[in-house]
Amino acid sequence: MGSKGVDANGETDDEAVADPDAEAETEEDNLTLIEQRFAAALGPTGSLSTTLDELLIFPVRVATPAESTIVEVAVGGGSLLPRSSEDQPASARTIVQVSGTIRTASTANEAFALMGGSLVRAGLLPIDSATAGPAPSRSYRIPNAGRFDEIVVTALDQPGATGSLVRVTYNGTSPNSSVALFRDWAGQPLPLPQSDQLRTILTINRSGEGRLESTNLTISSTAIVIDGNAQREANRLVQRVLRAAEDDTSRLVVPGGIDDSEDAPLAGVLGVEGLDKAGYEIVPTQQVDVDPAGELEQVDVIEVRLTGSKVLDQ
């Protein structure tokens, strides 16, 4: 029989107190967990809706064509919904988008018939069909749900090959806590401005074949600033990045050439530990809002966007 080791204090191995720091070092961070969950969703599937439901949420079972392989999944989390009642605080639910793309042996028309038929049998209502453009799509309304809740099926025959690419997207709502992992992918507050309009989109896709096959993760987190100034937002973003990078636990690494001594460019490179590439963009644009009278109006906004990417299988 082997004997137990004894340390310098005369304690046996099983009496020694575990080092809490060593345990913390082995704890996986948000980005690693996201990579694992996304990568596990790719590959052959018999039920696309089950895979998406396990990833985040998918409220309706949709038929999946035979010989289907998931080649892309995406999760998006948006702004919190406004307060609807005392029992439903504003922070309880958030707007989400969950999508999966499959490569299947079925044609686009066959996929539309199979998947659309299963959605109609489940009680969904066909509300829109778009045949223009490279990829026709059909939308299905989820009855007795929120005003955002719908499922969209997009299908496109593969040119020069048999079968088709089919994307199924759920636009709806989910408990705010369910998207926390994806929204907080950096494991810390992002250096974005305070805003009522925030969104994060994470996508993993597998492309190529054989030795040319690659799996890529992309991230985009955006804050919308109404009536902002692009140059001012760029300067403020760089200042927040510099302050955050001073924290030893921060993922942000300030690359050479970025400082707050002069006006910052409206787009630039950032360093984020765990990603191959990262950067920021300040984009002046417009969005449609509803004014106090209930009329639609164009509003000038500034999009402050952080982006990142990583190749997972190298």
**How far does the chain reach from its first CA to its final CA, in angstroms?**
44
Nearest to 153 by CA among 106, 118, 112, 105: 112
Task: Using pLDDT thresholds of 50, 70 and 90, give the confidence band for residue 91.
Answer: low
pLDDT of residue 89: 52
pLDDT of residue 82: 53
Which range, of 44-48, 73-77, 295-299, averages the lowest pLDDT? Answer: 295-299
Give dist(CA 198, CA 24) in Å, integer: 30
pLDDT of residue 189: 85
- The domain spans of the chain are 27-184
Evaluate if residue 12 carries a pLDDT over 80. Answer: no
More confident residue, 314 or 300: 300
Evaluate if residue 96 carries a pLDDT over 60. Answer: yes
CA distances from 193 to 30, 154, 241, 250, 277 (A): 22, 34, 11, 17, 22
What digits encode the pLDDT tens for the residues 199-244?
A: 999 999 998 877 778 999 999 999 999 888 999 999 999 999 888 8
Dihedral through CA 220, CA 171, CA 73, CA 63, nearest 10?
-170
pLDDT of residue 66: 92
Evaluate if residue 136 carries a pLDDT over 90. Answer: no
pLDDT of residue 11: 46
